[in-house]
Amino acid sequence: MIESIDLESPEGTLWFSDEAEVNIDKVDFEFEQSSKIRGTYRNLTIFNGNYCYQAIKNKHERKYKYRVDLSYLDPRPVRERHVAWKWLYATIGLALLCLLSIYTAWFTNWVSPSIYFLIFLVIEVSAMLICLLLFTHNTYDRIIFKSQYGRVKLIELLNRYPDKKTFRQFIGRFILQIKQAAKKKAYNQSTFLAQELAELRRLKDETVITEQEYEIAKAAIFKHKGFQAAAA
């Protein structure tokens, strides 16, 4: 349940990124994701028809929220999937080893159950559970929204959370909002490139994206023919 994840830490480390503050005149819609297994909570608030606040809480990591101008997002999301096969195989292998150990001790005369055998069995089960946790932690299915030209990850969502239907409805509405935000500004390409770079610089200064991500995005924007034509 979402209520089980507390955004406020005892140390008061909630970090709010919004140097250039924008007043919230109208909340268009919101979306929440929570995964107790992964220890993550995410809330997206789309407001004023043009902005998105994303509040994020990851277990054992800092809690923060930041604002993104929707008009600079690419409306075509990217799906990133990864299955941690090695940890899955290790979990299955250890599970089979546990079953074999139990069968050998209780149904054959090869090994007699003893305190040493029970200790060995506990170690096997513990190792299996650790591998299962590592498999869960390292396996992911994400939907990523990047900046239009700099290709920086700005919005990341767990695919099909809280359920497939709700998630698809949100993604459809979110994509439409991105398109409407870009259309409303009606920038020509050179102005759009310059404004996206300014948006990414703000996010870099607020430590939402890294210096390396910003430099890669800046290089991509500078190389774009629309930016070069405006600078000529």
pTM: 0.78
Confidence (pLDDT) at 10: 40
Confidence (pLDDT) at 4: 35
Query: Mean pLDDT per segment of 10 residues, for the chain of length 232 residues?
Result: 36 51 89 84 94 86 84 96 95 92 73 74 93 89 96 94 94 97 90 94 93 96 79 59
Confidence (pLDDT) at 174: 98
User: What's the pLDDT tens digit per position in 44-102?
Assistant: 999 999 999 999 987 766 677 899 999 999 999 999 999 999 999 999 999 999 898 88
Q: What is the 3-state secondary structure (H, E, C) of the chain?
A: CHHHCCCCCCCCCCEEECCCCCCCCCEEEEEEEEECCCCEEEEEEEECCCEEEEEEEECCCCEEEEEEEHHHECCCCEEEEECCHHHHHHHHHHHHHHHHHHHHHHHCCCCCCCHHHHHHHHHHHHHHHHHHHHHHHHCEEEEEEEECCCCCEEEEEECCCCCHHHHHHHHHHHHHHHHHHHHHHCCCHHHHHHHHHHHHHHHHHCCCCCHHHHHHHHHHHHHCHHHHHHHC
Confidence (pLDDT) at 111: 59
- Asked whether 69 and 59 are in contact (CB, 8 A), the reply is no
What's the gap between Cα 222 and its chain centre? 28
Confidence (pLDDT) at 11: 41
Confidence (pLDDT) at 109: 64
